[in-house]
Amino acid sequence: MKRAVFPGSFDPITLGHEDIILRGLPLFDEIVIAIGKNNDKKYMFSEAQRIDFVQTVFKDHPTIRVETYSGLTIDFCKKISADFILRGLRNPADFEFEKAIAHTNRKLSGIETLFFLTAARTSFISSSIVRDVIRNGGDYSVLVPKQLQLP
């Protein structure tokens, strides 16, 4: 079975996340959306809310599942027998950051990282931008999947 992990905080999930995951579906038997737990990070949405957001968006996709994890992504990949990490790249800064992580992950575990360039229509979207729009009472609906109704 070809299984990939798509890790992130998904605080909240965006149209960019959704696009990368849907485009990755034909390549894998299963994609595990792995919501990371980072005690040093202050989230806008609770872990339960973030799980619900992701499950709602992908409820019609039986080859996608959602899990949470803490620690190294490669340790989580080993635990669930995933051989690939799926990541999206929006810009050159993302590439430089993700490249270093991918090299380290492959060196430590042999797990390969596959990069997808974000679609032009979503390349400007990040969870932090969405959170800022929400905090300031803006219309976030054009930045997140249509199924998402944020509190």
Instruction: Enumerate the active-site residues.
Output: 17, 41, 90, 127
Answer for the pair 17, 144: CB distance below 8 angstroms, yes or no. Answer: no
Number of other residues whose CB lies within 10 A of the CB of residue 39: 6
C-alpha span between 32 and 27 (Å, rounded): 13
C-alpha span between 25 and 23 (Å, rounded): 6
C-alpha span between 25 and 121 (Å, rounded): 20
